[in-house]
Amino acid sequence: MRTAISSMNEVRHAQYVMGTVVEIAAQGNETVREAVYCAMREFERLERMFSRFDPSSELSYVNREAAVSRARVSKEFFDVASRGLDYSARSQGCFSISMGALNELWERCALEERLPEPVEIEAARELAKHERIRIDANELSVHFAAEGVALDFGGLVKGYAVDRAAEALQQGGVDRATINAGTSSIRVISASGDEPSEFCLRHPLREESTAGILSIMNQALSASGTYEHQFVIAGRTFSHLLDPKSGIPFELIGSATAVCESAMLAEAASKILLFAGCERGMEIFDANGWEIEGVTMISNDGATLEVTHNKSLPIRLAVDD
């Protein structure tokens, strides 16, 4: 799906890519239209590189070959994998790009309509440890320490694509732009640093309601919500978001939102906030020197919402915190 609406100095473009509708709205001079299309092409290019469903993608090649021999990769793939592994190592077990074995286990069990056995979860958890992925910067290679290890950039690459799109817009001379990758990853850029943009945070318990409004400028926002994709096994409702430590999908209803300069880091940070909780998540960020602000909205009973955020976050809540 592609749509484009333009006025004298503004272009809006929407396209279905990376499993969602990506929207770019930009203002600038006569080059703004080309800049927007260049930005959208970054999403298309990176989807081809990092899709785990496309057998011809570079990621699929690595997941096939890296347990057998050192898989030589492009500089860009290596850099994304290196940053993802660094985030994994610094997250105290709350984020991982090596969740392929766990994702495959739960997808298979959902099709078989059964819960995984504890021994299956433990075996997949062992394969999902980031230490089992070895990278070599000199030869730009990736190697897995065992059969069954698999990379999965689903929790990271959309943010990376947003950052690359922002670079394309800035190089194209755009004055101001908003990149919205399906509401889960958003970035606002402005050459003049004018008024911030406001974004509504969905209420986790009420689809049509707003729980708060965030203001950002020259920053990125990532939201991870357990309500977006769910599945039921044996009467239990699970989120698509897997806890790297337990190997079990998140079962509570809730969301976590992170704000920082990089959309890629914000993607990782929102998962850390969700699994660690806001207070511990902020401690992890501080320990790593990451300048990240965040909010969590979790329901323990399916009826009430517990909201926690750091006090400097520019948020107006529509619910009690």
User: CATH no. for residue 295?
Assistant: 3.10.520.10
Do 208 and 315 lie in one domain? The reply is yes
Each residue of 247-294: pLDDT tens digit?
Answer: 999 999 999 999 999 999 999 999 999 999 999 999 999 999 999 999
Of 2, 9, 6, 15, which Cα lies nearest the Cα of 179?
Answer: 15
Does residue 280 share a domain with residue 215?
A: yes
How many angstroms separate the CA atoms of 47 and 59, rounded?
10
Q: With contact defined as beta carbons under 8 Å apart, do 270 and 280 qualify?
A: no
Q: Based on the domain organization, do 134 and 252 belong to the same domain? A: no
Does an H or E element contain 39, and which? helix 32-50
Tens of pLDDT, residue by residue over 238-259, are 999 999 999 999 999 999 999 9
pLDDT of 320 reads: 54
pLDDT in tens, 33-45: 999 999 999 999 9
Minimal CA–CA distance to 180: which of 202, 161, 205, 196?
161
**pLDDT reading at 195 higher than 90:** no
Q: Considering the domain boundaries, does residue 75 fall inside one?
A: yes
Q: Tell whether 262 and 318 lie within a shared domain.
A: yes
Q: What is the pLDDT of residue 194?
A: 77
**pLDDT digit string (tens) for 209-247?**
899 999 999 999 999 999 888 899 999 999 999 999 999
Within this chain, do residues 201 and 316 fall inside the same structural domain, yes or no?
yes
Indicate whether 248 and 315 sit together in one domain. Answer: yes
Q: pLDDT per residue over 85-130, tens digit each?
A: 999 999 999 999 999 999 999 999 999 999 999 999 999 999 999 9
What integer is the mean pLDDT of 163-168? Answer: 98
Q: Residue 68 is which amino acid? A: V
Strand, coil or helix: what is 137? coil
Q: Has this prediction a pTM greater than 0.85?
A: yes
Judged against a pLDDT cut of 50, whether residue 68 lies above it is answered with: yes
Answer whether residue 159 is part of any domain. Answer: yes
Q: What residues make up the domain containing 113?
A: 58-144
Supply 90's token pair.
């610094």
Predicted confidence at residue 184, as pLDDT, reads: 82
Number of domains in the chain: 3
Averaged pLDDT of the chain: 93
Section 191-195 average pLDDT: 80
The pLDDT of residue 4 is above 60: no
Are 225 and 206 in contact by the 8 Å Cβ rule? The answer is no
In a domain, 51, yes or no: no
